[in-house]
Amino acid sequence: MINDPVSFIALIFLVVALTLAQMRQNTYQQLKISLKKVQRKYQIRNSFRVRVEKEDRIYYIEHLIITPAGIYLVHVEDRKGKILGSEEDEKWIDKGKRKEEEFDNPTILLDKLKKIVKEQVDPVKKDVPIKSLIVFSIRASIIDLENETDVIKGTEISNYLRDDEQLLDEPILTETDMNVIYRELRPNLYRDKEEE
């Protein structure tokens, strides 16, 4: 209990300063800080490309996270306005204070990436849940978004992953499973040049 008024004011000032500093970070910075809290527990790979030979195309995955609850494909949208859209819409809208901007619906790309990763994981371990996760800035308003894919803010990912794992009666993937899946995926995942 803080009885000293000066200490109490200093504490309030510190909380406000930390909150403002966090809000100035972009979504990628927020997410990086949050993922550090769980990086020892899960297999987390950042900035990967997936080559699809049939399409002669490379797809980008910001974060691939292998946990006891399954695999998460994380797409980051560094947007700070009111986000409008639904699973079926080709475009979503970022309605900011000064302008409105359309952007590609991330669930479309994530659905494609889920199929690609599933094809590579199934020979190693069948029926591993592969989940999509869209991450926005803490300043974004995502309450008007209508979709099945989970949408969170950058600072919430460590709690989200922990909560999802705690819902399990027993892990779907053991630590060994997680390591084997990562090793098997690795030849098909290409690190971004800037990460090497």
Is the confidence at residue 193, as pLDDT, over 70? no
3-state secondary structure 135-153: EECCCCECCCEECCCEEEE
Domain contains 15: no
Domain contains 108: yes
Listing DSSP states for 2-56 in one string gives ---HHHHHHHHHHHHHHHHHHHHS-HHHHHHHHHHTTTTTSEEEEEEEEEEGGGT
**Residue 48, domain CATH:** 3.40.1350
Global pTM reads 0.78
Q: Which domain holds residue 88?
A: 26-195
**pLDDT per residue as tens digits for the range 98-134:** 899 999 999 999 998 998 889 889 998 999 999 999 9
Domain contains 60: yes
